Amino acid sequence: MIIEHDPNKVREQVKAWKKEGLTVGLVPTMGYLHEGHKSLIDRAVKENDRVVVSIFVNPIQFGPTEDLDKYPRDLNADSKLCEESGVSLVFNPQPSDMYADDFSTYIKESGPTEELCGKSRPVHFSGVCTVVNKLFNIALPDRAYFGQKDAQQLAVVRRMVRDLSMDIKIVGCPIVREPDGLAKSSRNIYLSPEERKAALVLSRAVKKGQELVDAGETDGDKIIDQMKALIEAEPLAKIDYVEMVSWDDIKVHHKVDGPILCAMAVFIGNTRLIDNFIRE
């Protein structure tokens, strides 16, 4: 397995693979890899001849009061997981490798970014779209893999690829959970034992919403109200948002009459966690 920091050398390697007629899959990550990331990597390895995993904590998708500096990092453990999983190349650039001192070109998506995390994290998706576009230009993938836990991100990247006529297949992969239901997240490490227990309220709210939909409830407001009530009963939880939106364009939706996404962001103590379910 190759570990490379230089974007130009990554592109040269991928071009060499493509000259051999090999397909390339990309798994973009910010590192501190867990079983959720591994599920993306495993699928990419299965579906492609070569797999690139990017490990880059992207500074331009963090707001000024967010956790850029303390975001967990462990390149040695990440590299070991990647090698054991069959990854061909790990791309681990520094911010200076990705952004020149006078960098001034950003991609702004103005459709699926307007609700959910786009409201509470106003710079986030411009940073995501910009770095993903750069990663696509560097790694030249045939397929790129994103997790459903970041469902809005998945929808935004799909829209960007469509709108900019990129010849890349975006593959969405299911949420991976702990045995007790908590969605796998690199930020789970921030939780104290008490907060870790309280965080289960997110997956319980997801389950409640799914049960209501499965039972035939179509009133989105009733579904969201019951999910919120469950979360609000947890003293350590503070809701950022709990919303039902249409799954294709991430617009607020009040009825289960097509593909919908029920998504939430909840602070447990100082840690912001997200979870969701999708009904196609």
- Which positions are catalytic? 37
Q: Give 121's contacts (C-beta < 8 A, 6+ positions apart).
A: 63, 66
Q: Give 138's contacts (C-beta < 8 A, 6+ positions apart).
A: 7, 10, 11, 14, 91
Angle at 131 between CA 53 and CA 164, to 5 degrees: 105
Q: How far apart are the first and last CA of the chain?
A: 38
